[in-house]
Chains A and B, each alone.
Chain A
């Protein structure tokens, strides 16, 4: 398998009045073609900033240093015009906020059509045909009739399906999914995960799946990368990491995960030394915060 994405010594710093905050510190990892990697960590561990850096979406006052090679091409330091060519066609991204992800004043159809006319230069009729096919592919029933509907006429889960369609529609080589299910009802989360997994298998694109949920990571990835406070603390094949986590933080995460316990009495709190005011919000938000609150 050849290397699709190779990240070396990547750091992302944010300047603020209160000094520089480093959100990502000297990170190294790579993603092979067709490989699925889960990026796991608590909120504020730097995983979202890292994925935005790969898209070239870190804006002032943020600064990216180090190297991000995508298909051998250096992304760090590219200007907006060059980045534009890679976005969508090379690397695409699905974001967390499904409800805010689509423009409320345009119909679903026109937003889908746009990626084909603008990015691939298709004619209007051809683009429309592809847009409808894409809607069907992500599981929208009556795609033809719903083509002219507006985002507010769709449910949250359906909107996220459209966002996924918009991301995979141009058949990118790498898909970054940043907690695509956290904003959704529990009942629709499983469906979205299945969709992403099947699309990845079908198209053979590489994927970075960002999540704080270990169960989801286990379900979807070949390899796991654990981030803590801006650093990668553990990396390895998913099964290995699950069977024998080496880093104490990973072990703590595992122990705190509610999926492994039968009663809340078995929940172990994240040890105090791992609860930080970290670069982001600093609140450990998955299972552990439940444990911490119960304490």
Chain B
């Protein structure tokens, strides 16, 4: 168990370093910030000063080593456009994104568990067919288009909800729905499959033959087993939420790391871009580690192997 955890921690660390390395080289290739900062081509001295201030006058490998050393301390330099450290800018956007992703995660898991369980209970019959087809459709709707159509219907036509911003609870409804839709489609299918596997398993039938009641059959003998495959895909689902968060930031002008990253790319703000992506990577790696631990607690076959 300890070796398992140590292995996971180690591979998480290696992945994080990989992300940092990749981010550095990718960002350096997107073009020079000098052109952006001095659109009219500043004086030689101005450019020199700028390069020195941001370490752009060093050879690439040196820039990388400095970057790596600083990154280890969470220092990604100052934002080129905002007058503050890049990490601080990225961190300040994180709570909003985590809240949005977290709420959306709860919404999609709850919905998928309900729909998937109904489908499994009525397997091969009408409710199952309807839910299966709906979940396939949910997985086929482009996130951005769903966002636009829901604005059209609920904000423009019905005027129930605001089109953008994040001022009241109402402005959270459409972004959360937008981010949840396609994960609900995928997850419903997973829940349905897991439920059917468990309900038709030998151990549940045996428990029934021992004379246990249906509540006991569901809550003690099925739920934990059915949760395993759902936990296993939770990491990928969470990552897809962050994809959705980028779209939502654009369509609904919703604050968060998505908006920051899109802005940083447009403005060639390297430090902010690097800090944000490393932060997103760190969040996903941490989440996957948490999922591994939960899986280990729930499944003795992993815990004891």
Residues of A within 8 A of B (CB): 55, 57, 80-81, 84-89, 92-93, 95, 97, 99-105, 107, 114-115, 118-119, 150, 152-153, 163, 166-167, 170
CB <8 Å contact, B203 and A102: yes
Q: In chain B, what residue has the closest Cβ to A86?
A: B211
Q: Tally inter-chain residue pairs, CB-CB below 8 A.
A: 73
Identify 8 residue pairs between A and B in the complex whose beta-carbon atoms are under 8 Å apart, listed by A's number: A87-B210, A95-B209, A101-B206, A103-B204, A105-B224, A115-B210, A119-B211, A152-B300
Main secondary structure of the interface of B (DSSP, over half): helix
Is B209 within 8 A of A87, CB to CB? yes
Q: Hey, which chain B residues are within 8 Å of A150, CB to CB?
A: 300-301, 304
A118 lies within 8 A of B212 (CB): yes
Inter-subunit contact B216/A87 (CB<8 Å): no
Residue of A nearest to B299 (CB): A105
Query: Smallest distance from the beta carbon of B1 to chain A beta carbons, Å?
Result: 13
How many whole Å from B206's CB to the nearest CB in chain A? Answer: 5
Most buried by A among B206, B213, B299: B206
Given known contacts A105-B299, A118-B216, A95 and B205 CB-to-CB distance under 8 angstroms: yes
B contact residues, total (Cβ < 8 Å): 25
Q: Is B159 an interface residue (CB 8 A)?
A: no
Partner of A103, one of B211, B213, B214, B221: B221
Q: What are the 8 tightest A-B residue pairs by CB atom distance, in nearest-first order? A: A100-B202, A88-B211, A87-B211, A103-B203, A150-B300, A88-B210, A97-B202, A101-B202
Q: Which of A84, A95, A103, A153 has a CB less than 8 Å from the CB of B225?
A: A103
Residues of the B chain whose Cβ atoms lie less than 8 Å from the Cβ of A170: 210
Closest-by-CB residue of A relative to B227 is: A105
| B298 part of interface (Cβ distance < 8 Å) | yes
Roughly how many angstroms separate A81 CA and B215 CA in the complex, as a whole number? 12
- Bound-state CA distance A28–B141 (Å) is 59
Residue among A84, A104, A105, A114 making CB contact with B213, cutoff 8 Å: A84
Contacts of B202 in A (CB 8 A): 95, 97, 99-101
